């Protein structure tokens, strides 16, 4: 093996916070060969991003490399002066970031931003820099690059912004690239396109890449070597197949188990989980003939004021206790549809029958007064923003009880809230805490407890685990599945994660551009997609176990 | 460019939608003036001993004997024809008075705003680059002092130091000293008129005369501008696109000015618009201290003697200036922020 391009030796990074020094990275050592793609996998707080930022010296002001060396081509760059480092930035190393739109200057044309990066290292005229920028836009396969040169980030999609970001990163031919969660927040199909592009550019230019991700499948698909980090430590390092089929470290084992795959079931996610499927499964005798379905959506349409239609024609029925998944790319109308069904927005046309009664006639603005409100509850995507920061966990859960069931403050209320908290596995002591004092998983539990507080019959879940780490997601999914079975709840599960939907839902509806493309029993639908669109979606999901994809050259 | 076209269309729509508000201001001020205590006829009668008959005659002349709705209708009709009425104080039509005095106020306020921006933005940037450093605290102290000290105190203080002690500033009364012949009035802005007349000595005299009141006003508004610059600069510097700029090795100047400051300046534009409108109406204290012949002191004098027409004219003028300034801010914002046209 040749000399490593980059080697990190016993790296320690500390952050000074109000509560004293926090060790974010503890003694990490790893090396990167020229042209290699290395996966750095871990959950939030594992120190994987901090490691990346330490290498590129982009740590926050509070962060400091306390110990260790970072050798780039044999030179310790932790001691390089700011001026020397400025030459390394871009020309030797570059980075691409998680949220591509925020990572681009919102009021500067993207072509200009690429040109800025080029001009920082090359003494050429600005006209030549623009030419070079245009060529880079072509290299990252942006359609109509001449026009896009003058576009602003808000005029581009997330995937396009990430391509621009890649163009900026490779503009000065760096030796290696650190990609920090480059596709988190993008659709599966966009994710595949962006990752394929990144891999092919890296291969073409012989550029080494460190792929920082929480997605084991993604790392498995693109990396030749994967490093797993936990709480600032490096716990395991292996080739992806070895790692996923024979994980050594207990943490890796847990992580691998928690990652939903094409075959996993909810009960497999947490091997030594808190719950076994020992709960009575009420299979719910088929409803007597003639009873209306729980939910009957008839040809709803949503048009916005400017005439664009988010949902063109959507119909579905659901019986009590059934779980239905709603999948599709962003912009497919899945969130709009779910919001119409849970009556947060009004459909432009069509009818929604709940229990045989039309609920689409009641304006969304007044629906909170309808008796059906307590029957249809929602679990929101972002557990942070969907909780009132000035409400304690107790207040959050009690709120629907006070408003919808007209309960009074007192022992009965307290008892009910504690019961809900108990059911979602939230310790009683945490009820007096405010959202910012809770972890992501705990906040998700509060959100779920709030939704089930009024004993609803239909729960609309809008990407309920998208913001959570896989191991937390695993526990939350199990919790949701158990609640559903215990209460014979119906789930409308909106998600972009096909593996999650496959596990959680009996039936799946695939949406595209506001219309239904395909629907059917989940496993069958994903095993044998009937339309190209669904097949594309399914293929785009990175699977663990599939042989590492050949890097397309 | 399409972007600027869209901005202009948006500005036009804003202007149309502000017309009802202007009308409301018109009616409201009219009513307010009628409700306030004081009878103009009494003030403008020949003297304290004027008889009832004389007052009645004046009242008739002023049309104050007519019922209120009729008075309002007459007033609206006059305003519609561009007639704001006649000031009892100066004996001139109000629009003529305002036209003479508005340039003085505008000149003062614009200069003050310019001084404030030129000093506040760098102060804010410097403070944001080194938060909680000695410089930051220094800027904070300076800003606090600027806001705490009322303008009439700081104005007198400046006069004391620069006129009385150091003798650097000229006699702080009016726009030019009495020995300078004013230039032929073309724009009403002395600085421009002197230049047009080619009278550089006169121009310099006007500048010197302008400096003290302008600095007095600027001191007061540096604080909000510097604070907002600092705050939005901090956000900008901590943003992800600045991190991106650092990650590709852009020069520090480019990062701070082109990337951070240009984004941070957006809220400053908005605040500057508000500050300008407030200054124009609220600089009556400065105008009084420096005997500046501006619109605000004119309106105050008129108010004290219940001279309806000038006050109504002044309020209408201020409302119109406010509308125009907001439009300007809108247009500027649309040019500075490409996202604005989408919303």
Question: What confidence score (pLDDT) does residue A551 get?
Answer: 38
- Pair of tokens at residue B227: 């604070």
Question: What confidence score (pLDDT) does residue A305 get?
Answer: 80
Q: Do A154 and B339 touch (CB under 8 A)?
A: yes
Return the axis-axis angle of helices A411-423 and A440-452, rounded to nearest 10°: 120
Share of chain A above pLDDT 90, in %: 53
Average pLDDT, stretch A471-499? 90
Q: Nearest CA of chain A to the CA of B17: how many Å?
A: 20
Average pLDDT, stretch A382-390? 88
How sure is the predictor about A375, in pLDDT bands with cuts at 50, 70 and 90?
A: very high
Q: Do A171 and B262 touch (CB under 8 A)?
A: no
Average pLDDT, stretch A469-481? 89
Strand runs labelled E in A52-149: 63-72, 75-76, 93-96
Average pLDDT, stretch B42-64? 73
Question: What confidence score (pLDDT) does residue B63 get?
Answer: 76
Chain A hits for B333, CB-CB cut-off 8 Å, are none
| Statement: residue A283 has pLDDT above 70 | no
Question: What confidence score (pLDDT) does residue A322 get?
Answer: 92
CATH 3.40.50.300 intervals, chain A? 1-92+176-258
- Give dist(CA A171, CA A249) in Å, integer: 39
| Mean of the per-residue pLDDT values of chain A | 88
Which residue out of A49, A116, A153 would a mutagenesis test of the B interface target, given it has the greatest number of B Cβ atoms within 10 Å? A116
Nearest CB to B246; choose among A58, A91, A172: A58
Phi, psi of A226 (to 5 degrees): -125, 135
Return the axis-axis angle of helices B262-282 and B295-304, rounded to nearest 10°: 40
| Statement: residue B1 has pLDDT above 60 | no
Q: Do A90 and B342 touch (CB under 8 A)?
A: no
Among chain B, residues having any CB pair with chain A shorter than 8 Å are: 239-241, 243-251, 254, 258-259, 262-263, 266, 336-339, 342
How sure is the predictor about B306, in pLDDT bands with cuts at 50, 70 and 90?
A: confident
Rg from Cα positions in chain A: 25
Q: Do B263 and A154 touch (CB under 8 A)?
A: no
Question: What confidence score (pLDDT) does residue A491 get?
Answer: 94
Query: The whole model's pTM is what?
Result: 0.82
Q: Do A104 and B243 touch (CB under 8 A)?
A: no
List A89's β-bridge partners, or say none. Answer: A93
Residue among A71, A7, A77, A70 nearest A36 (CA):
A7
pLDDT in tens, A109-123: 999 999 999 999 888
Question: What confidence score (pLDDT) does residue A7 get?
Answer: 92
Nearest CB to A97; choose among B240, B336, B338: B240
Question: What confidence score (pLDDT) does residue B189 get?
Answer: 86
User: Which of A111-120, A407-416, B49-58, B276-285 bottoms out in mean pLDDT, i.e. has the lowest?
Assistant: B49-58
- Give dist(CA A76, CA A6) in Å, integer: 10
List A230's β-bridge partners, or say none. Answer: A233
Question: What confidence score (pLDDT) does residue B37 get?
Answer: 73
pLDDT in tens, B191-201: 888 888 888 88
pLDDT in tens, A267-280: 777 765 444 444 44
pLDDT in tens, A147-191: 999 999 988 888 899 999 999 999 989 999 999 999 887 888 889
How sure is the predictor about A286, in pLDDT bands with cuts at 50, 70 and 90?
A: low
CB atoms within 10 A of CB B173: 13
Contact criterion met (CB below 8 Å) for A327 and A496: yes
Q: Do A58 and B342 touch (CB under 8 A)?
A: no
| Statement: residue B342 has pLDDT above 50 | no
Average pLDDT, stretch A43-71? 89
Residue of B nearest to A178 (CA): B247
Q: Domain boundaries in chain B?
A: 100-304
Q: Nearest CA of chain B to the CA of A46: how many Å?
A: 21
| Statement: residue B148 has pLDDT above 90 | no
| Statement: residue A450 has pLDDT above 90 | yes
pLDDT in tens, B240-262: 999 999 999 898 899 999 999 99
pLDDT in tens, A504-549: 999 999 999 889 999 999 989 988 999 999 998 888 888 765 444 4
Question: What confidence score (pLDDT) does residue B48 get?
Answer: 63
Which residue out of B238, B240, B247 would a mutagenesis test of the A interface target, given it has the greatest number of A Cβ atoms within 10 Å? B247
Torsion, Cα B1 B2 B5 B6, to 10 degrees, reads: -150
- Pair of tokens at residue A448: 């779920």
Which residue out of B129, B130, B133, B248 would a mutagenesis test of the A interface target, given it has the greatest number of A Cβ atoms within 10 Å? B248
Alpha-carbon distance values, B225 to B118, B125, B263 (Å): 10, 11, 15
User: Which of A240-249, A283-292, A488-497 bottoms out in mean pLDDT, i.e. has the lowest?
Assistant: A283-292
Contact criterion met (CB below 8 Å) for A372 and A359: yes
Average pLDDT, stretch A127-133? 94
Q: Nearest CA of chain B to the CA of A129: how many Å?
A: 14
How sure is the predictor about A354, in pLDDT bands with cuts at 50, 70 and 90?
A: very high
pLDDT in tens, A458-469: 999 998 888 788
Residue among B111, B152, B145 nearest B286 (CA):
B152
Residue of A nearest to B255 (CA): A116
- Give dist(CA A99, CA A233) in Å, integer: 25
Q: Do A90 and B243 touch (CB under 8 A)?
A: no
DSSP state of A109: -
Residue among A461, A450, A434, A366 nearest A400 (CA):
A450
Task: Describe the strand order of the beta sheet including A20-32 as a list of residue ranges.
Answer: A20-32, A6-17, A63-72, A75-76
CB atoms within 10 A of CB B159: 19
Domain B100-304 has CATH 1.20.1250.20: no
Contact criterion met (CB below 8 Å) for B292 and B175: yes
What is the per-residue DSSP string for B185-248? PSSS-HHHHHHHHT-HHHHHHHHHHHHHHHHHHHHHHHHHHHHHHHHHHHHHHTSHHHHHHHHT
A59 touches chain B (CB under 8 A): no
| Statement: residue A321 has pLDDT above 50 | yes
Contact criterion met (CB below 8 Å) for A58 and A95: yes
Question: What confidence score (pLDDT) does residue B3 get?
Answer: 62
Chain A hits for B4, CB-CB cut-off 8 Å, are none
Q: Do B254 and A99 touch (CB under 8 A)?
A: no
- Give dist(CA A372, CA A356) in Å, integer: 12
Share of chain B above pLDDT 70, in %: 95
A105 touches chain B (CB under 8 A): yes
The pairing of beta strand A225-230 with beta strand A233-238: antiparallel
Question: What confidence score (pLDDT) does residue A276 get?
Answer: 46
CB atoms within 10 A of CB A290: 5
122-161 in chain A: CB under 8 A from chain B: 152, 154
User: Which of A199-203, A313-317, B281-285 bottoms out in mean pLDDT, i.e. has the lowest?
Assistant: B281-285
Average pLDDT, stretch A135-155? 91
Share of chain B above pLDDT 90, in %: 21
Residue among A276, A235, A226 nearest A254 (CA):
A235
pLDDT in tens, B80-106: 888 888 887 888 888 888 888 899 899
| More confident call, A262 vs B150 | B150
Considering the domain delimited by A1-92+176-258, tell me its CATH architecture: 3-Layer(aba) Sandwich (3.40)
Contact criterion met (CB below 8 Å) for A209 and A37: yes
Chain B hits for A168, CB-CB cut-off 8 Å, are 244, 248
């Amino acid at each position: 093996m040749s000399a490593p391009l980059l080697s990190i030796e016993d790296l320690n990074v500390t952050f000074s916070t109000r509560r004293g020094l926090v060790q974010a990275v503890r003694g990490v050592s790893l090396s990167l060969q020229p042209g290699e793609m290395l996966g750095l996998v871990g959950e939030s707080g594992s120190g994987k991003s901090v490691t990346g930022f330490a290498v590129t010296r982009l740590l926050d002001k509070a962060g400091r490399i306390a110990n260790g060396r970072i050798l780039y081509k044999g030179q310790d760059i932790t001691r390089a002066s700011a001026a020397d480092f400025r030459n390394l930035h871009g020309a030797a190393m570059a980075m691409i970031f998680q949220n591509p739109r925020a990572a681009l200057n919102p009021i500067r044309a993207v072509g200009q931003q690429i040109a800025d990066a080029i001009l920082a290292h090359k003494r050429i005229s600005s006209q030549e820099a623009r030419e070079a920028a245009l060529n880079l836009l072509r290299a990252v396969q942006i359609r109509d690059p001449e026009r896009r040169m003058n576009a602003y980030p808000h005029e581009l999609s997330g995937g396009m912004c990430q391509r621009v970001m890649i163009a900026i990163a490779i503009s000065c031919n760096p030796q290696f690239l650190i990609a920090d969660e480059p596709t988190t927040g993008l659709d599966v199909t966009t994710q595949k396109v962006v990752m394929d592009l990144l891999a092919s550019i890296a291969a073409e230019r012989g550029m080494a890449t460190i792929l920082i991700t929480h997605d084991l499948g993604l790392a498995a698909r693109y990396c030749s070597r994967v490093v797993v980090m936990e709480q600032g430590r490096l716990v395991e390092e292996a080739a992806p197949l070895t790692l996923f089929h024979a994980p050594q470290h207990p943490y890796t084992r847990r992580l691998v188990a928690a990652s939903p795959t094409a075959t996993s079931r909810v009960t497999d996610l947490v091997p030594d989980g808190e719950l076994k499927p020992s709960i009575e499964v009420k299979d719910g005798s088929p409803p007597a003939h003639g009873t209306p379905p729980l939910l009957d959506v008839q040809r709803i349409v949503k048009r916005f004021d400017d005439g664009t239609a988010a949902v063109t024609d959507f119909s579905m029925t659901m019986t009590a206790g059934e779980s239905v998944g709603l999948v599709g790319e962003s912009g497919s109308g899945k969130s709009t549809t779910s919001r119409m069904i849970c009556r947060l927005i009004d459909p432009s046309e069509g009818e929604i029958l709940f229990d045989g009664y039309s609920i689409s006639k009641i304006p969304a603005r007044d629906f909170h007064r309808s008796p059906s409100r307590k029957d249809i509850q929602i679990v929101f995507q972002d557990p942070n923003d969907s909780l009132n920061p000035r409400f304690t966990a107790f207040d959050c859960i009690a709120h629907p009880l006070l408003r919808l069931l007209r309960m009074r403050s007192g022992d009965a209320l307290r008892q009910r809230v504690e019961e809900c908290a108990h059911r979602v596995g939230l310790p009683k002591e945490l009820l007096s805490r405010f959202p910012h004092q809770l972890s992501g998983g705990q906040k998700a539990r509060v959100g779920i407890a709030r939704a089930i507080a009024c004993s609803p019959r239909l729960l609309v879940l809008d990407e309920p685990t998208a913001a959570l780490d896989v191991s937390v997601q695993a526990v939350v999914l199990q919790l949701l599945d158990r609640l559903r079975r215990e209460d014979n709840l119906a789930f409308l599960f909106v998600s972009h994660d096909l593996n999650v939907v496959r596990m959680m839902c009996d039936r799946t509806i695939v949406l595209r551009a506001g219309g239904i493309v395909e629907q059917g029993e989940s496993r069958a639908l994903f095993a044998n997609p009937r339309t190209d669109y669904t097949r594309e979606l399914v293929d785009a999901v990175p699977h663990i176990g599939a042989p590492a994809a050949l890097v397309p050259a | 460019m399409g972007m600027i076209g869209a901005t202009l269309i948006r500005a036009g729509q804003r202007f149309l939608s502000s017309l009802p508000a202007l009308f409301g201001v018109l009616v409201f001020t009219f009513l307010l003036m009628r409700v306030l205590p004081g009878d103009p006829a009494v003030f403008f009668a020949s003297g304290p001993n004027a008889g009832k008959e004389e007052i009645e005659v004046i009242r008739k002349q002023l049309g104050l004997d007519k019922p209120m709705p009729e008075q309002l209708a007459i007033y609206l009709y006059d305003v519609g024809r561009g007639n704001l009425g006649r000031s009892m104080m100066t004996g001139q039509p109000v629009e003529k008075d305002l036209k003479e005095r508005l340039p003085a106020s505008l000149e003062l306020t614009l200069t003050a705003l310019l001084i404030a921006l030129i000093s506040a933005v760098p102060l804010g940037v410097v403070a944001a680059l080194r938060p909680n450093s000695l410089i930051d605290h220094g800027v904070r102290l300076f800003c606090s002092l600027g806001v705490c000290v009322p303008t009439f105190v700081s104005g007198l203080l400046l006069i004391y130091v620069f006129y009385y002690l150091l003798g650097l500033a000229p006699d702080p009364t009016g726009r030019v000293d009495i020995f300078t012949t004013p230039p032929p009035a073309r724009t009403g802005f002395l600085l421009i008129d002197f230049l047009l007349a080619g009278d550089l000595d006169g121009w310099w005299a006007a500048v010197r005369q302008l400096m003290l009141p302008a600095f007095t006003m600027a001191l007061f508004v540096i604080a909000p501008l510097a604070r907002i610059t600092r705050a939005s600069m901090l956000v900008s510097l901590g943003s992800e696109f600045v991190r991106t700029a650092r990650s590709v090795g852009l020069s520090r100047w480019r990062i701070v000015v082109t990337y951070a400051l240009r984004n941070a300046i957006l809220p400053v534009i908005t605040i500057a618009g508000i500050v300008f409108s407030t200054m124009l109406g609220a600089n009556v204290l400065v105008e009084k201290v420096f005997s500046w012949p501006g619109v605000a002191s004119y309106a105050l004098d008129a108010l004290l003697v219940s001279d309806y027409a000038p006050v109504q004219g002044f309020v209408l003028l201020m409302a119109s200036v406010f509308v125009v300034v907001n439009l300007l801010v809108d247009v500027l914002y649309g040019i500075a922020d490409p996202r604005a046209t989408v919303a």
